[in-house]
Amino acid sequence: MSHGYSAILFDLDGTIMDSAPGITSTLSYTFERLGLPAQPQSELLRYVGPPIMDSFRDYAGMDLETAQRALEIYREKYLNDGAYDSTVYPGLPQLLKRLGDSPLPMSLATSKPETPATLMLEHFALANCFDIITGASDDEVRSSKQDVVAEALLRLDRMGADMSNPVLIGDRVHDMEGAALNGIPAIFVTWGYGSEAEQEGAVAVVETPEELGRLLLPE
């Protein structure tokens, strides 16, 4: 049954797309270019989801200058190659198209910058499912999940969407926290990159896109 949500915000990496291969290969390239030691895949997967500048600081221990250089290398490689080394999770195209055809207004809300996020959605013919594509600003000034969610809510409100009961769909603790800090509920999907501990605060936990659809769409 539907819970009467009035607008929907979707995370991208780990929620709509398995984008880890493109992200981790681009990270490996970046570290190699910087002359840094290679990192195992298990370590690189931690970078999938959080704002990348935070990850360079928190996981690689980079100072701001090094992180800026890393971002330049990463961004060029990712826009050319890595963004397309992704797959859409089974069942998501069908769900997104059903939502796109419904009256529910929908915005992307990703910590990935808007340019690669838009390119990815266009590449997989999913961009038209969304009324708005909201992500980090391309200069990474707006990159925290809290700020991205706030921007998505603002853009939906400006287009006249019913903002009485919006909901965020995501797979990481950053999604749950970003929603909570904006005073909206979040639904956690288990097919992404988050651990069970990251589900805390979710109003629902779903294991399949079909289960998610039953929560979002009226019968």
Q: What is the pLDDT along the chain (219 residues), one digit of tens a residue?
A: 457 999 999 999 999 999 999 999 999 999 999 999 999 999 999 998 788 898 999 999 999 999 999 999 999 999 888 888 999 999 999 999 999 999 999 999 999 989 999 999 999 999 999 999 999 987 767 778 999 999 999 999 999 999 999 999 999 999 999 999 999 999 999 999 999 999 999 999 999 999 999 999 976
**11 is known as an active-site residue:** yes
* pLDDT for position 58: 94
CA distance 176 to 169: 9
Please state the domain extents for the chain: 7-18+87-216, 20-84
Topology alike, domains 7-18+87-216 and 20-84? no
CATH class of 7-18+87-216: alpha beta
* pLDDT for position 147: 95
* pLDDT for position 17: 96
* pLDDT for position 37: 93
CATH code for the part of the protein at 20-84: 1.10.150.240
CA distance 2 to 32: 48
* pTM greater than 0.75 (yes/no): yes
CA distance 9 to 161: 12
Q: How far is CA 182 from CA 58, 109, 146, 185, in A?
A: 24, 13, 7, 9
Strand ranges in 11-105 using DSSP code E only, listed in sequence order: 17-18, 87-88
The catalytic position among 11, 13, 18, 171 is 11
Strand ranges in the chain using DSSP code E only, listed in sequence order: 7-10, 17-18, 87-88, 106-113, 132-136, 166-170, 186-189, 204-206
Tokens representing residue 215 in the block: 């929560």
* pLDDT for position 1: 41
Type of residue at 146: Q
